[in-house]
Structure 1
Amino acid sequence: MRIVTSISRGALIVALASAGHMTASAQTASVTVTDPQTGSSEIPDDIIVTGTRATGITAAESAAPIKVLDAELMSHVGQPNLNQVLTQLVPSFTAQAFGGDTANLTLSARLRGLSPNHTLVLINGKRRHGTSNLAVLGGPYQGAATADLDLISPASIKRIEVLEDGAAAQYGSDAIAGVINVILKDDKEGGDASLTAGENYDTGGRTYGGSLHLATKVGENGFINVTGFYRYHDFTQVGGLDRRVTDINGKLLTSATTPSITPLQQSLYPGMSDFPYVNKISGDAQSRLINLQYNSAYDFGGIEAYSFGTYSRRVASAYENVRVPTRVSRTVAGVTTYFDPEGDSPVNGFSPREKIREEDMAFTGGVRGDVSGFHYDLSSTFGQDKNEIYTVNSANASLYADTGFTPTTFYNGFFKSSELTANADFTHEIEAGMAAPINLAFGGEYRKNVYEIGAGDAASTYKEGGQSYPGFRSSDAGVNGRNSQAGYVDVALMPVEGWKVDVAGRYEHYSDFGSKFIYKGTTRYDFSDAFALRGTFSTGFRAPTLAESFYSATNVSPTSAFVQLPANSAAAKLLGFANLKPEKSTNYSLGTVIRPVPRLTITIDAYQVKIEDRILGTGSLFGGGGATSPVNVNFPVVTAAIRANGNVLDPTVTQTGINIFTNGADTRTRGIDVVASYASDFGEYGNATWTLSGNYNQTKITKVMSAPPLVNVLGQTITVPLFDEGARANIETASPRVKVIGSTFYSIDKFSMTLRGTVYGKSSARYSPDGGKFYKQTIGTAFIGDVELNFKATDDLELSIGANNVFNKKSPTLGLVPGTTNATLVGGGNQLDAPLTFSPYGINGGYYYARMNVSF
């Protein structure tokens, strides 16, 4: 039945699920669609397990929008990376292409243009712990500390259910934008393996990956699935001309053309490799990743025990701004010497790299079954992520000046976060004379979170620390924790045939800020088999992550040093900032499901999400250096807060100050999701599945909280905006409002083909060279094409070649200050041709690949 394959693939990409909570396990059901070849009306369709506690709800019967992606669909995305899988298949999902500092080593993603922290990730319905590597620097993904999807191998996944609706009343904190539920494979025999290799067209990034999945029965009533995955990804190089000693054409400046250039600076680039593209800060990190996963269960006769878990190890490093030779020097008896970490002659600059050694693990165990008409599911999950941070190929300028020695490798300390969760879930059906039994669900959850920062070695914290990333001081280090308890009730009923109603309420108590009660109501009415209306109203909240509350570090560039001040610290209170409190949300959605003809499904869902007291990173508050315009003002109390926090800043930089996370604004997000899918059967000429999906999304800041008044160096009391133009643009315009994906999967005999086109709408951000005037930088509407060709050599062997971004579309570059003819960049950076890193389609251009899949 070739039509079965087409129908299921089309249904999976547009599936829509009921609002509610979680069933214990996936089942099998069917929808009535006639196969023109056989006349059969039974087409298998998956029962959803995300967003509902009621059993037997199929994708076609859903009351809230959920997209379901199966393993075969995901296998036709070229890059072996779960973030890329979701980016290329889900219009409301966007993945980070580039991160500043250590955020480039742990890229994040988000739904519906909200924060990554507003999306809850589940594995087999159980909460996944977050990364310990907080995204600190400004941008659309600032503050991200959510689950790292890259640590979940696509080869281990049976399907993914993406609930695009507020679900905090069902799952608790974090589910304001929606839920991503990863369902692991539960096969009882067989396996598969995959090998892939690829590279970007002209920016590097060579990639090798391999996976092996094995499944076997355990006794008569059990199974275990084990998946191993390895991936190597090399650096990419995008941009690279350095404005300090080259012109806009990459020509080395000389003292004849530029009197301020010294002979020492002239010697920098000819003595370094890759001239003139020596500044490698813009590009992917190099990484080696190992993922191991397992999923298992055993039925003891009415009681099923289950367990699943993951282990990951990643070693990654990313280039930072190149340092000129004069950056690290020592003067003794009137003789100046310059530090050269590579020992070359003449003296060269150096390119520091930030590096992580990450270990991540999670384990879930539980039992489920039925007793006295109640279904129960008792489980516990423990997850932990630890990142050891290093700076390599660097130097400590003060240590070298004071002692004549500096190491080139620094251990900066570590981040570690852990989460322990215990759940008890119960469901019971009650006959009440309605069109279907009432489904009553209730339960509770206990959760304990711990976040820790460990101090770096002595050289990394001596005065200002190593170039590009100072170590964590004893004042940065510390262990902070909290616990929470929750109880919920969920009632799903069908008063009359075709009308579904689901209401849920949840009470949570947190040890650090008190209690919250939230609720949700959803309904759907099917007027006929061809038309249905659905809608949802819900409230929610998000507890601040411990990283947002307690992260402390110094962020540096060749010309600036800014302390990320802990939001819940005494130093923050010195400036007038209060401890972080939870965000509060209100979600509305209204949608329709239309099936005008067999095999064609159209869904349209409009939504609004209001968030009060949203946690955002502030703009820069200056403590010294920089301009003295009304926007960029120096405040002695900021410098005092830096000292109170125990930080020592580089004395050679021109700008110093602080950034801080705060409940700084209210926002409103409005949007529409549209999905259409159709399956065609051409008889002997093959079959095809056509999908068209799109998202329109707009976020506005509706209210900005007042910043504490500060006294400047002239003794004047000034109220500085919490969010400068750049910070506001990161929220409102840095993500495209429109994303549309159209795809076709065509197969005939042993050949198949995937064609996919994605249109990204316009986006923009604002940059400033010095914290004063801001300049708008725009990324125009772009079309990104993907293609993959497959050949089924045997029943068990498939060969594939393909390309993502086949037309090699690249991000625009950072511009010069309007009206200038010199190398003054609007972003204050050092690369003359740096890419706009907020590009929704990445900065690396096209990627081509080959893949071999084997099943057994």
Structure 2
Amino acid sequence: MKKMGLVSRGALITALTLTITPAMAQETAAPQASDEQSDGGVIIVTGTRTTGMKAADSPAPIQLIGSDALQRTGSPDLLQSLAQQLPSIQAQAFGSDLQAHTLQMKLRGLSPNHTLILVNGKRRHGTANVSVAGGPYGGSAAPDISFIIPESIEHVEVLQDGAAAQYGTDAIAGVINFIQKKADHGGSINATAGEYYDQGGKTYSIGGNIGIAPFEGAYLNISAQKKKKGFSFRGDINPQSVDAVAGGNEAVADLPGYPYTNRIIGDPRINQTVVMYNAGYEFGDYEVYSFGSYGHKKAAAYENTRSPAIIPGLYPAGFQPQERIDETDYSVTGGFKGSIGETSFDLASTYGKDLVKVYVWQSGNAQLYADTGFTPTTFHNGDFFATQWSNTLDLTHAFDVGLSAPVNVAAGLEFRHETYGIKAGDPASYYGGGAQSFFGYSPNDAGKYKRDNFSQYLDISFNPVENWLVDGAVRHEHYSDFGDTTVFKLTSRYDFSDAFALRGTASTGFRAPTLAEGGYSGLNVGPGFIGGVLPPASSAAAALGFGGLRPEKSTNYSLGVVLNPAPNFTITLDAYQITIRNRIMISTGFSGFQGNRCPEGYNGSNAAACLPYNADLYAIYNQLAVLGAVNGALGGSSTVTGLGDATAVPGYVILAENGVDRNTEGGISVQSFVNGVKMRTRGLDLMANYKADLGNMGNLDLTFTGNYNANKVLSINALPSALYSSTANPELTRLIDASSEVELEHTTPKFRGTLNAFWSWGKFSANLRESYYSQVYTFETARAAGPGFDAGDLIKVPVKSSFITDLEVGYQIAEPIKISIGANNLFNKYPTERSREYIRNIELQNRERGYSTSKYPTISPFGINGGYYYARINVTF
């Protein structure tokens, strides 16, 4: 397939001029929209409290995606479908550990926590599986939209503007509102199957939707999806397995995938079922409604392979542990809305819960085995749970005060109760060094956290003159754990003519830490290493000088134009700036042991091998404070006064699993969620749409969407006073390390453009999408010296700019049946490989397991799996 990549760019551009489709709602309004609704004529409910506003008249930048466009991405995963359609959205390509099972998305390069997810205008509950990684996805506990299925969606409204004053103080980057189907008749069945060009990722999905009218005035719309996806692998050989076989341990050759035995880099295996419904009963001016979802997901992800020496005798060939989850997610909303006189009301209550049970398979507890001669090979490591109960009352009334249009006044109340918690796992999962690949959650980690939020808002929209719209909103919120805040938004639009309009917004935001960011606790023990995350407000974190999290505060500005230069041709261009203060993220690791740099006073068996401690060079390790925090988190005293006899800290902290002193085998490192940085994001969003009637050759819809986005870390907050800050080399003692700072700034493409086209001609259709991603990069440690740097220095590891082509063709073989075949990443493009000269060759030379995982940078905005081909059949009735 890689020969296809030799197709000339000129041929590709020629193809683009022949077949293309817009991804946005200008391409297709919702399938149930009336014939009168066309480009820009779809009625929107996001970004405005004015009833009946059309997308073309929105004072804020909003883009719409129809259900047909979602289907044409070829993916049953809504996250990938959105990212392929909108350049301002980036889907996470890979997640380590539990993050692999709940991939997230970021809007405008900000945290997933900065985008508010709504279903039918009501807040969606977040995932219980918080990300404890660094970089832009760190700390994310946003809703898992894999539990929202494409079959249920009529259209999607994406508000690319700060909306904290309108919807809640976490809508800093914008709002994504999934509008469900309401049809009371008809339906569809969609079946798709596909896999990656090169290896793995086999996907099967069948979904359906049906509309029912139980009785006059009522509707019931039900959707369901069953999805299975297989493992993929994008690593390299494991030199240690090759050496084991060469050394006489032939059993290692029987490990699955040999010599590619370390299979952590790739997609997890997923088996997921989701059912959603949307129902209502309309009588007179009133409607009783309800909608909800129930989903169940089982998933498994490979972790780093372990050598036979970890648990001698139990696994003669070594073992390949897997982290697995068993997740249940559900939500239900009930509401009553209507009009009393000139006043409209909407009273609703929503309850949602996410429960994630965590397991480790094909593993063992090395210390338990050494102590008792027995270890389980399967562990229940613990559970996460998160709930949200929100209750809202929204009122709107239009007052005629003699202006060119009535003044629309909206006001509302919201009460929200949230919980988050961790349940301890099996004792064997956290005994001593814990289960290999994932240390179980102990009773010290377990706990339940709760919060109440009460908010009120007022929104006034009016037209001072006929072509000038002004909309102002103010919102006050009270948090039971963070006090009060008030945020504002002012939006305006002036239509100079039918062909030109100017619009702009200014707003403030306030985001309280999620309960998961404030309450997550977990230490993970690996071969020669112990590390993990301490809750910010815990006594263990306090030993390091942390005192809990503060809220984030933000300021948003945008200015844009709307152009209609010709019939069926629309252009929007919006510039924006977002500044976030005290952005919450995971800290750098603070270490007690690091390699053979030992704490002062240590006199263990390998004390003679210890390197001298240098207060400036190794200050970040902070020695006794870190060891005390680890000890406290594991149930001991957080006060460690010395290590002369190594009795102040438990043996499993001092010793590695094989009994060797940990200081010569690895290290001890802990982190915490912190208010880390002040950030500024500047960018431009461009959308251009043209629809052409080609006469006997059918219809051609063209859409170009582009996003320029530049993130900048303006400042990094100081270390707590209890931790040492080096004056000789401050870069070694930072709250946020250099790699995380670079990932915040440079792992979102500065420019991404997507040219979409759809050509329909009788029973035939073709969809072609060409996307451009500018270069992204991160920093990694050089393993060999190069021009201008030494081994051990941080060097740039890029994913170079790339064009990605997606193509789908379809044919209506009968009135209700359409078949389609297609490919995402048609020319099988992979991200730039990590440097062989300065990283990978040295790993191979040293026979390091890390060579197997370092082939591609996992920050790639278009993934690491290469091309994917698929077939789909649609049956409508």
TM-score by length of structure 2 reads 0.88
Q: 1:285 to 1:699 in 2, by over 3 A?
A: same
Distance 1:580 1:820, change over 3 A: closer
- Distance of 1:754 and 1:642 partners within structure 2: 55
> How far off its partner does 1:396 sit?
0.4
Query: What SS class does the counterpart of residue 398 from structure 2 fall into?
Result: strand
Aligned-partner SS, 2:116? strand
Higher mean alpha-carbon deviation, 581-590 vs 705-714, is at 705-714
What amino acid sits opposite 1:642 in the alignment? V
User: Of the candidates 166, 170, 175, which is equivalent to residue 166 of structure 2?
Assistant: 170
CA gap 1:131/1:307 in 2 versus in 1, 3 angstroms:
same
Change (3 A) 1:122 1:43: closer
Q: Report which stretch shifted further, 639-648 or 452-461.
A: 639-648
CA separation in 1, counterparts of 2:21 and 2:753? Answer: 22
Per the alignment, residue 637 of structure 1 pairs with 625
Q: Which amino acid aligns with 2:807?
A: V
Determine which of 216, 221, 224 is the counterpart of 1:225: 221
Q: Contact 1:769–1:829 (CA<8 Å) still a contact in 2?
A: no
- Residue from 828, 845, 856 that aligns with 2:866: 845
1:333 alignment partner in structure 2? none
Shift of 1:30: 5.1
Equivalent of 1:206, from 202, 206, 212?
A: 202
Partner residue in 2 for 1:94? 90
| Secondary structure of the structure 2 residue equivalent to 1:102 | helix
Structure 1 residue aligned with 2:367: 398
Give the Å deviation of 1:46. 1.1
1:722 matches 2:735: yes
Match of 1:294 among 277, 283, 288: 277
Structure 2 counterpart of 1:765, from 778, 791, 802? 778
Larger displacement relative to structure 2 (723-732 or 443-452) = 723-732
Residues of 1 paired with 2:377 and 2:24: CA distance? Answer: 55
Distance change in 2, residues 1:557/1:29 (3 Å): farther
Map of 1:672-711 to 2, 5 A cutoff? Answer: 672-710=684-722
Residue in 1 that maps onto 2:414 = 445
Which of 197, 206, 216 does residue 193 from structure 2 map onto? 197
Measure, in 2, the Cα distance between the counterparts of 1:734 and 1:713.
Answer: 28
Conserved in 2, the CA contact under 8 Å of 1:28 and 1:44? no
SS of residue in 2 equivalent to 1:642: helix
Residue 20 of structure 1 aligns with which residue? none
* Paired residues of 2:87 and 2:706 also in contact (CA < 8 A): yes
Give the alignment of 1:242-321 within 5 angstroms: 242-246=238-242, 252=243, 263=247, 267=250, 269-321=252-304
- Is the 2:245–2:253 Cα contact (8 Å) retained in structure 1? no
Q: Secondary structure at the match of 2:137?
A: coil
Q: In structure 2, which of residues 299, 318, 343 is the aligned counterpart of residue 374 of structure 1?
A: 343
Judged with a 3 Å threshold, the aligned counterparts in structure 2 of structure 1 residues 253 and 776 are, in CA distance, closer, same or farther, namely farther
Partner residue of 1:802 out of 822, 828, 845: 822
Shift of the 792–716 alpha-carbon distance from structure 1 to 2, 3 Å rule, reads closer
Q: SS of the counterpart of 1:572?
A: helix
Asked if the contact 1:307/1:364 (under 8 Å) is kept, the reply is: yes
Residue 815 of structure 1 deviates from its aligned partner by 3.3
Q: 1:558, CA displacement in angstroms?
A: 4.0
User: Which structure carries more helix by proportion?
Assistant: 2
CA shift at 1:491, angstroms?
Answer: 0.2
After superposition, the C-alpha distances for 1:452-481 in whole angstroms (9 at most, x for unaligned) are 100000110111210000110001001110
Structure 1 partner of 2:660: none
Q: Could you tell me which residue of structure 1 aligns to residue 638 of structure 2?
A: none
TM-fit CA distance, 1:727: 1.1
In structure 2, do the counterparts of structure 1 residues 222 and 52 end up closer, same or farther at CA, with 3 Å as the change threshold? same
Are 1:626 and 1:655, in contact at CA under 8 Å, matched by a contact in 2?
A: yes
Confirm whether residue 619 of structure 1 aligns to residue 588 of structure 2.
Answer: yes
Task: Give the partner amino acid of 1:59.
Answer: A
Flag the 1:167–1:15 CA change in 2: closer, same or farther, 3 A: farther
TM-superposed deviation, 1:816: 4.8
Match of 2:314 in 1: 339
Counterpart-to-counterpart distance in 2, 1:318 and 1:611: 34
CA drift at 1:268: 6.0
Superposition RMSD in Å: 2.6
| CA drift at 1:817 | 6.7
Per-residue deviation, residues 360-401 of structure 1 (Å, max 9, x unmatched):
000000100111321010000000000000000001000111
Match of 1:741, SS state, is: strand
In the alignment, does 2:775 pair up with 1:792?
no
Counterpart Cα distance in 1 of 2:351 and 2:701:
41
Match of 2:116 among 120, 128, 142: 120
The one-character-per-residue Cα deviations of 1:739-761 (angstroms, maximum 9, x if unpaired) are 11001100101000000011111
Report Cα offsets for 1:223-266 as digits up to 9, x if no partner: 000111000000001113124355xxxxx4788xxxxxxx46x5
| Residue aligning to 1:344 | none
Matched, 1:818 2:801: no
Output one character per residue of 1:671-692: Cα deviation in whole Å (capped at 9) or x when no partner.
Answer: 0001101011110111100111
Contact preservation (8 Å) 2:212, 2:219: yes
Q: For structure 2, which runs of at least 5 residues remain unmatched after alignment?
A: 1-18, 598-616, 636-651, 658-664, 784-790
Q: Give the Cα–Cα distance (whole angstroms) in 1 for the partners of residues 528 and 568 of structure 2.
A: 60
Superposed counterparts of 1:572-651, under 5 Å:
572-626=541-595, 628=597, 629-630=617-618, 633-646=621-634, 649=653, 651=656
Change (3 A) 1:627 1:509: farther
Asked if 2 retains the 8 angstrom alpha-carbon contact of 1:139 and 1:838, the reply is: no
| TM-aligned CA deviation for residue 298 of structure 1 | 0.2
Deviations 1:645-680 (A, max 9, x none): 126557245021101110111000000001101011
Q: Does the CA contact (< 8 Å) of 1:188 and 1:223 recur in 2?
A: yes
- How far apart are 1:812 and its partner, in Å? 2.8
In structure 1, the partner of 2:149 is 153
The 5 A counterparts of 1:725-744 are 725-744=738-757
* Alpha-carbon distance in structure 2 between the residues aligned to 1:531 and 1:205: 47
Identity of aligned residues (%): 42
Deviation at 1:709, TM superposition (A): 4.1
What is the match of residue 484 of structure 1?
453
Distance in 2 between the 1:513 and 1:492 partners?
Answer: 31
Letter aligned with residue 797 of structure 2: Q
Residue among 337, 340, 357 paired with 1:388: 357
List runs of 5+ in structure 1 lacking aligned partners: 1-5, 17-25, 32-41, 247-251, 256-262, 330-337, 341-346
Corresponding residue for residue 22 of structure 1: none
Cα separation, partners in 2 of 1:401 and 1:744, compared to 1, 3 Å: same
Q: Is the 8 A contact 2:244 2:252 kept in 1?
A: no
How far apart, in 2, do the equivalents of 1:535 and 1:716 lie?
A: 47
SS in 1 for 2:193: strand
Is the contact between residue 759 and residue 767 of structure 2 (CA under 8 Å) also seen in structure 1? Answer: yes
Within 5 A, what are the aligned runs for 1:48-59?
48-59=44-55
What SS does the corresponding residue of 2:474 show, helix, strand or coil?
Answer: strand
Report how far residue 831 of structure 1 moved.
Answer: 1.6
Q: Tell me if structure 2 keeps the 8 A contact 1:29–1:45.
A: no
**Aligned 8 A contact 2:165 2:489 in 1:** yes
1:745 is matched with 758
Q: TM-score scaled to structure 1, two decimals? A: 0.90
